[in-house]
Chains A and B, each alone.
Chain A
Amino acid sequence: MALVDNHEAIGANGVPRLSEASARDFFELLKPRVMSLVVFTALAGMVLAPGHIHPVIGFIAILCIAVGAGASGALNMWYDADIDAVMSRTAKRPIPAGKILPQEALAFGLTLSAFSVCILGVVVNWLSAGLLAFTIFFYAVIYTMWLKRSTPQNIVIGGAAGAFPPMIGWACVTGGVSIESIVLFLITFLWTPAHFWALALFKMREYGAVNVPMMPNVCGEATTKKQIVIYAVLTAVIGVVPTVLGFASLVYGAFAAALGLGFIWYSLLVLRMPDGDEKMVPAKKLFAYSIVYLFVIFSALMADHLVTTLWLTAGGAL
């Protein structure tokens, strides 16, 4: 009986409705595409960190970070179901599509949050678990419930939530936070505004329709484009800092600088885009490039670290 009570909701005709959600619908609540980015950057943090972690423990750590990130996505979908229903990009999400009831998503998100944090704490260490808990809180409460609907700086500050995973990965291995892990955090943190504002430019009307104060709606296209260029430059600069600080090679530094110049180039194309452009092709190109940029920059960091480690190991053996 309790099971039925938990799944029922009163339908439009007054008849209690039972859930028809499939396991796939619940998986969709975890925002799998965002989760893949989180997994990747957390893995980068673990690979780059000095020290050793048992491969199975490392796998469980990544799993916990992924589930924690997914849980915060479920809580986001629970809270934002009203605006998700209006925007074409999000209207097919499980809650607005009527596949999952809001209270089911809330329970799912809270349960997974608790499990992921506790298991990470018990199996790996409590600093990384604390960082994961803070990340979930930051994304679900600070960003989703507070910043998103109140300030055009929402994704600048809220971007911190997406930037924590490499720091958590680093903490899983070392048990601490260092300047290197802060640089990894800053790469994603400074990348986020240019990435999201490019999207916001060509989805401006949809955000306006649901009264989400994104930068283009509040400050205008011209200001947004200038801000995009500023953040693209900052992203390009932070991209080469690992070489400056000595935890990446000069080869990586040159590669990151080239990637960063590409990022700036695409942002300048957006800056030159005329106001009121309907198609916004440069903004779409910048959005696509920004996704590639983040995957490639973290891949390059990991590849550089592995090659350097192998080189030093081979040198030591000789």
Chain B
Amino acid sequence: MELMKLNDAQKKSRRGRNIALAVVLFCLVALFYVVTLIKVGNGMVN
């Protein structure tokens, strides 16, 4: 299979997108974790 070669600009922009996606995914995990703590906490209080 012939692979496409990325130029420097494409590599740079792909790296930027990957970092942004990693940050978003991390924030999403943190968000669900915190929401779970709050919901479970409220359930226990009730």
- The smallest C-beta distance from B5 to any residue of chain A, in angstroms, reads 10
Q: Is the CB of A56 within 8 A of B17?
A: no
A297 to B9, CA, bound (A): 46
Q: Is the interface of B mostly helix, strand, loop or mixed?
A: helix
Binding site for A on B (CB under 8 A): 1, 4, 6, 9-10, 13-14, 16-17, 19-20, 31, 34-35, 38, 42
Contact partners of B10 in chain A: CB under 8 A: 18-20
Residues of A within 8 A of B1 (CB): 1
Contacts of A60 in B (CB 8 A): 31, 35
Say yes or no: B13 contacts A20, CB within 8 Å. Answer: yes
Size class of the contact patch on chain A: 10 to 19
Q: With contacts A1-B1, A4-B4 known, is A19 near B13, CB below 8 A?
A: yes
Q: By the criterion CB–CB under 8 Å, are A18 and B17 in contact?
A: no
Q: How far is the CA of A75 from the CA of B37 in the complex (A)?
A: 34
Given contacts A23-B16, A23-B20, contact A18 B34 (CB under 8 A): no
Q: How far is the CB of B36 from chain A (nearest CB, A)?
A: 10
A16 at the interface (CB under 8 A from B): yes
Inter-subunit contact B17/A22 (CB<8 Å): yes
| B31 neighbours in A (Cβ, 8 Å) | 60, 119
Q: Are A18 and B20 in contact (CB under 8 A)?
A: no
Distance in angstroms from A122 CB to nearest chain B CB is 8
The residue on B at minimum CB distance from A55 is B38
Residue A33 CB within 8 A of the other chain? no
